[in-house]
Amino acid sequence: MRAKTPAADFPAPTHDDLIKKLLHQPRLLRDFFRAFLPELARFADLDHIEYLDKEHPRGGKRPRRVGDVLFKTLWKKRETAFLIHVESQNKPHPAALERMGEYALRDGIRYRLPVMPVLLLTYPKPETPQPGELRWDFGRLAAIHVKCPVLHFRRMNPLPHLRGKNVAALALTALMKLEADQQVDAIVSTMAEALRQEFEAEDL
């Protein structure tokens, strides 16, 4: 008889694990963009999504990008990649936008595509706004400009999503400010809406 593996050997999934799983399901990825980045959803062909490998040959000091999601689609009829980076540290990274620019450029070089970065913040505190734009100007000689959407779930109002029928948005209210009874409602609403929309196992 096989011995049971202690539960401690299987750590509970983190918020980042759940977000990555959600965003790797095309149906839920489309829901995510429609809920949180509707302008992108209007112009990108989200019916044709191809996930790309975001890992690169790296030196020993380069961190693995396990929380990133990189996919290719059409943006205004042009092939474009979108990089979703999940930042889950307990405090804002002082070089978050510089890193977003670095990752987008490396992915763009590898796949020879324009890459739009999106920054997701899952940490609960601090709730101070994270700038979404970085500019270095060198007079008329040169300029470096990085701009990307920043979604800090803890700063969002969960009520519009709890009242809606978007399964991805309902699931991600878990990262927003919720009272105990609202947390239960969010779980029940997510499951009920997924059943109502007849999600298959591979969609979840």
pLDDT tens, position by position, 160-194: 999 999 999 999 998 899 888 888 888 888 989 98
As a whole number of Å, the end-to-end CA separation of the chain is: 33
Query: How confident is the model at residue 90, as a pLDDT?
Result: 62
Burial 192-204 (b: 16+ CB within 10 A, else e): ebbeeeebeeeee
The whole-chain average pLDDT of the chain stands at 84
pLDDT at 18: 79
Q: Where are the alpha helices (DSSP H) in the chain?
A: 15-23, 26-36, 38-43, 96-111, 159-162, 167-172, 180-196
Do residues 155 and 127 lie in contact, with contact meaning Cβ atoms separated by under 8 Å?
Answer: yes
Q: Where are the domains of the chain?
A: 13-53+64-155, 157-197
Cβ contact 52:81 at 8 Å: yes
Residue in the block written with tokens 């009874």: 181
pLDDT for the residue numbered 66:
59
Average pLDDT value for residue range 107-127: 90
Instruction: Kindly tell me the sign of the dihedral angle through the C-alpha atoms of 59, 133, 81, 36.
Output: positive
Percent of the chain surpassing pLDDT 70: 82
pLDDT tens digits, residue range 66-111?
A: 568 999 999 988 999 999 998 876 667 788 899 999 999 999 999 9
Amino acid identity, position 178: L
Q: How buried is 38 (Cβ within 10 angstroms: 0-12 exposed, 13-18 middle, 19+ buried)?
A: exposed
Write the pLDDT tens digit of every residue in 35-54. 999 998 888 999 999 999 87
Percent of the chain, pLDDT > 90? 49
